[in-house]
A and B are shown apart, each in its own frame.
Chain A
């Protein structure tokens, strides 16, 4: 009898799993009957577009209009661009114009279009120990380095990280030492580290607004300078260079992002919740 018990147990276990498989099959079949199997495309994008919730609004719109399943991979801009150059993604939505230009010039991406912008801001502890303010980010960074005020960097080759490193270079400072902390994580987590460690951090405004409810030890200290513009571009991966790319849907996605209807949605996104737009439309 003991033998049987073990068998029954194993059998029940397998049945459970098999029933799990079966269920999804019927669901798929039902979906198939309704309409043609949707095609699938991979969108490599930055964490800020996902963490702010913008993609949760835009992607379903696009999927519905075009019968496409979009696989959104939210990573740092550096990784997203790398996925583009390797042909692992079909479309890219990123925000590091200088690095993007290299990818476009190398012929890995085509159909390069400006979509929207928001701005970078410098956020710091409420008591502002380095006493930085105003709109001059280069001067602020110099002050931070002189005071060796705790600075939290993304350190993940993201668009924001690239921007931050660009400012250090422009200010002719090599940030290093105990005061310079590199998290290697996304914007949300980096902001949380800054809040805990009472450090200064460069962030995009969208993520800041979406997360400020958890960040009550931080405040905006520098904003509004013309150097602080954060521009997002969309592009499709060149199908001539990478043969497995889904260029049909990628092209549709680029067109969708710069469509005036989509631009209205972008402009209005977050207005109700935060009292201001998280992103501003900005096509060419």
Chain B
């Protein structure tokens, strides 16, 4: 328990003293996670809408794979991406292994299925009668989509939050494809693993408090957006 207080003290100390390395690591974590979730949203949202609203051949199979993808262990995602990015692998010429870009790729891979599947669920639950009514009122396709997005706003933001939770908590893939390189691909989760293996539990705890704070702030912002009272 003493360690816990020690860790909290250290975290505050790190933040107040403006420890450059900790700041850089936190900043990179934030950047990598936000870019990943942005891409996941940009791809997953339209894909989820498509899967939720339309019916086509192979839809169920695709949905099955996406749902399996929700449970894709990050280390597996990391392993696949590592093999693709190896110098001897198919994308070896890009020399992207051990870069933040590789981490972003892995995080998109693990968060995209979550965003897609949850969005799809939300759109599939839309009442048929409402769809009919919107049509009857003469809405264009774009207008219909806008109304539906508004209707499912809460669920969409929940999907984004779930995806964000995945990427900020992720460590296995980031370790593998990023390599935890100081000043380059070291993010909060991988540095926590490293500090634990170094036996620096106080620093690891301090970093964990910083990580939790970051996660809390982002999630709070998204929750605020989600729960905002509808004035109209």
Interface presence of B123 (CB below 8 A): no
Residues in A neighbouring B180, C-beta threshold 8 A: 74
CB-defined contacts of A56 to chain B, threshold 8 Å: 182
Pairwise interchain contact B35-A21, C-beta atoms closer than 8 A: yes
Give A99 to B17 CA distance when docked, in angstroms: 46
Is B153 touching A6 in the complex (CB atoms < 8 A)? yes
Contact segment of B64-72, B110-118, B195-203, B208-216 = B195-203
Q: Are B146 and A3 in contact (CB under 8 A)?
A: yes
- Interchain nearest-CB distance for B111 vs A (Å): 14
**Chain B contacts of A24 at CB under 8 A?**
31
B86 within 8 A of A: yes
Docked complex Cα distance between A244 and B85 (Å): 13
B1-44, CB under 8 A of A: which get 1 and which 0?
00000000000000000000000000100110011001000000
Contact of B198 among A14, A20, A71, A188 (CB under 8 A): A188
Within 8 A of A (CB), among B73-92: 86-88, 92
Counting CB contacts under 8 A, is A87 at the interface?
Answer: yes
Stretch at the interface among A128-136, A167-175, A208-216, A217-225: A208-216
Q: Return B203 CB to nearest CB of chain A, in Å.
A: 12
- Secondary structure of the A contact surface, majority rule: helix
Q: Which residue of A lies closest to B149 (CB)?
A: A6
Contacting residues, chain B, for A191 (C-beta < 8 A): 199
Distance in angstroms between the alpha carbons of A59 and B183 in the assembled complex: 12
Of residues 95 through 109 on chain A, the ones whose CB sits less than 8 Å from some CB of chain B are: none
Residues of A contacting B153 with CB < 8 Å? Answer: 2, 6
B197 near A16: Cβ-Cβ < 8 Å: no
B197:A71 contact, CB within 8 angstroms? no
A88 CB–B CB distance under 8 Å: yes
Number of B residues contacting the other chain (C-beta, 8 Å)?
34
Q: Say if the beta carbon of A189 comes within 8 Å of chain B.
A: yes
Query: Could you count the A-B residue pairs with CB atoms below 8 Å apart for me: how many are there?
Result: 86
Q: Does B225 touch A at the CB level, under 8 Å?
A: yes
**B87 surroundings in chain A (CB, below 8 A):** 86-88, 242, 244-245
**Which A residues are in CB contact (< 8 Å) with B139?**
none
A14-B38, A56-B182, A69-B184 given; A213·B199 CB < 8 A: yes
- A72, CB-defined interface residue at 8 Å: yes
B132 within 8 A of A: no
B182 lies within 8 A of A73 (CB): no
Verify B199–A211 contact, CB threshold 8 A.
Answer: yes
CA distance A50 to B149 in the complex (A): 50
Provide the A198-215 mask, 1 if CB < 8 A to any CB of B, else 0: 000000000000110111
Closest to A192 in B: B199
| Per-residue contact bits, chain A 77-105, to B (CB 8 Å; 1 contact, 0 not) | 00000000011100000000000000000
B53 CB to nearest chain A CB (Å) = 18
Per the bound structure, the CA–CA distance linking A211 and B195 in Å amounts to 11
Q: Which of B27, B92, B201, B225 has the most CB of A within 10 A?
A: B225
Say yes or no for A9: interface residue by CB 8 A criterion. yes
CA distance A69 to B181 in the complex (A): 10
Q: In the complex, how many angstroms separate the beta carbon of B30 from the nearest chain A beta carbon?
A: 7
Whole-angstrom CA separation of A69 from B180 in the bound complex? 14
Q: How far is B32's CA from A20's CA once the two chains are assembled, in angstroms?
A: 9
Q: How far is the CB of A125 from chain B (nearest CB, A)?
A: 18
Q: B199–A188 contact, CB under 8 A?
A: yes
Query: Are A20 and B30 also in contact (CB < 8 A) when A56-B182, A242-B87, A244-B92 are?
Result: yes
Taking the closest CB of chain B, its distance from the CB of A249, in whole angstroms, is: 14
Please tell me if the beta carbons of A2 and B230 are within 8 angstroms of each other in the complex: yes
Binary B-proximity of A108-120 (CB < 8 A = 1, otherwise 0): 0000000000000
Using A14-B38, A188-B197 as known contacts, say yes or no to A1 and B149 having CB atoms under 8 A apart.
no
Known: A20-B31, A86-B86. 9 other contacts (CB 8 A): A3-B149, A17-B31, A86-B87, A88-B86, A88-B87, A188-B198, A211-B198, A211-B199, A242-B87
Q: Which residues of B contact A (CB under 8 A)?
A: 27, 30-31, 34-35, 38, 86-88, 92-93, 95, 97-98, 146, 149-150, 153, 179-182, 184, 194, 196-199, 201, 225, 228, 230-232
19 examples of A-B residue contacts, CB within 8 angstroms = A2-B232, A3-B149, A5-B228, A17-B35, A17-B38, A20-B35, A21-B35, A71-B98, A73-B98, A73-B181, A87-B88, A88-B88, A187-B197, A188-B196, A188-B199, A210-B199, A211-B198, A214-B199, A215-B199
A→B interface (CB under 8 Å): 1-3, 5-6, 9, 13-14, 16-17, 20-21, 24, 40, 42, 47, 50-51, 53, 56, 59, 69, 71-74, 86-88, 185-189, 191-192, 210-211, 213-215, 242, 244-245
